[in-house]
Amino acid sequence: MNKEEDDPMLNEMTDSSLQDIIKFLEIAGVLKRTQRTGWVDIGVYQPESVADHTFRTAVFCMLYADIEELDPMKLLRMALIHDLPEAIIGDLMPNQKTAETRKKEENAINQMLSLLPKTQKENYLAVWNEYQVGKTKEAKAVRQIEKIEMALQAKEYERFGSDRRSLERFIETAEESTVWPELKRLLWLVTEEISEGEFQSKMDIKVMPKMIGKMSAARMNALEEEVERLRKRVASLEEKARKK
């Protein structure tokens, strides 16, 4: 995605063009206040926003691309762009999507990207369309990753008290959408919390029972302790920096 020679740099843009970029960012910011409809539908207390989902999906994509030697920038762009239209049309559950809503989604992404310079508009629209078609390796990766992120969020809601049965459909959707072996393995560990040996045994006999295991109290405590350890480490580094 190279910049065209005649495209102005930021400091060369008119005030009007810069105001359009600010407007684009403001519209994108609506996603921070747009709750994920699926979680609202089952009554999750204080459900995440679309932006929350996008953030961790993007982090996951960055990590996966680096590990698997894919193009991290392409995966990141795709992760960040794929839900942008929801800032205008809202978050829709799969059973709410129709030919009409897909058209609204196309119109929304075009309206948003029309606020950007020509090259960025064309590049980002191409990435969005690539994700929608879902044929390239990058698009397939992001489609599976965002479903695994959803499953991880479902497990977290379960740990915080949401009813397991109401969350099962999200796990099932992730299982149906995840097809690559390495991602299947990761999803299995997210949802089942079993050992590598147990996973390999079940994969060998092609058995993937739909069991949703709860995080043990010991594991939750270990996680909290690790977070606290990192907080103390950051505080220590900040204190050393202040003394220099």
* pLDDT for the residue numbered 72: 94
Whether residues 107 and 16 fall in one domain = yes
Whether residues 92 and 205 fall in one domain = yes
* Interhelix angle 164-177/181-192, nearest 10 degrees: 170
Percent of all residues in the chain with a pLDDT value above 70, rounded to a whole number: 82
Domain that holds residue 122: 10-213
Residue 71 lies in a domain: yes
Higher pLDDT pick, 62 / 194: 62
Whether residues 228 and 168 fall in one domain = no
Residue 56 lies in a domain: yes
7 confidence band (pLDDT: 50, 70, 90) = confident
Whether residues 242 and 154 fall in one domain = no
Give the Cα separation of 160 and 227 in Å (integer).
17
Whether residues 224 and 164 fall in one domain = no
The tally of CA atoms less than 13 A away on the side-chain side of residue 68 is 18
Q: How far is CA 118 from the centre of its chain?
A: 26
Whether residues 186 and 225 fall in one domain = no
Residue 236 lies in a domain: yes
Give the Cα separation of 244 and 240 in Å (integer).
7
Stretch 50-68: mean pLDDT, rounded? 97
Residue 98 lies in a domain: yes
Q: How far is CA 150 from the centre of its chain?
A: 8
Residue 126 lies in a domain: yes
Phi and psi dihedrals of 176, rounded to 5? -70, -30
Query: What CATH number is given to the structural domain containing 128?
Result: 1.10.3210.10
Whether residues 157 and 227 fall in one domain = no
Answer yes or no: are the C-beta atoms of 116 and 124 closer than 8 Å. Answer: yes
Other beta carbons less than 10 A from residue 227's beta carbon: 10
Whether residues 57 and 109 fall in one domain = yes
Answer yes or no: are the C-beta atoms of 33 and 49 closer than 8 Å. Answer: yes
Whether residues 235 and 130 fall in one domain = no
Whether residues 125 and 237 fall in one domain = no
Whether residues 65 and 175 fall in one domain = yes
Query: If we measure between CA atoms, which residue out of 226, 75, 195 comes closest to residue 142?
Result: 75
Give tens-digit pLDDT for 108-145. Answer: 999 999 999 999 999 999 999 999 999 999 999 999 99
The neighbouring-strand residues paired with 219 are none
Residue 121 lies in a domain: yes
Q: What is the DSSP string of the chain?
A: -PPPTTSPPGGGS-HHHHHHHHHHHHHHHGGGG-B-HHHHHTT-SSPPBHHHHHHHHHHHHHHHHHHHT--HHHHHHHHHHTTTTHHHH----GGG--HHHHHHHHHHHHHHHTTS-HHHHHHHHHHHHHHHHT-SHHHHHHHHHHHHHHHHHHHHHHHTT--HHHHHHHHHHHHHH--SHHHHHHHHHHHH---HHHHHHHHHTT------PPPPHHHHHHHHHHHHHHHHHHHHHHHHHHH-
Q: How far is CA 109 from the centre of its chain?
A: 18
pTM: 0.80
Question: Is the pLDDT at 199 greater than 60, yes or no?
Answer: no
Question: Is the pLDDT at 154 greater than 70, yes or no?
Answer: yes
4 confidence band (pLDDT: 50, 70, 90) = low
- Tokens 């809202």 identify what position? 90
Answer yes or no: are the C-beta atoms of 191 and 171 closer than 8 Å. Answer: yes
Whether residues 208 and 94 fall in one domain = yes
Residue 4 lies in a domain: no
* pLDDT for the residue numbered 226: 64
What is the number of domains present in the chain?
Answer: 2
Residue 3 lies in a domain: no
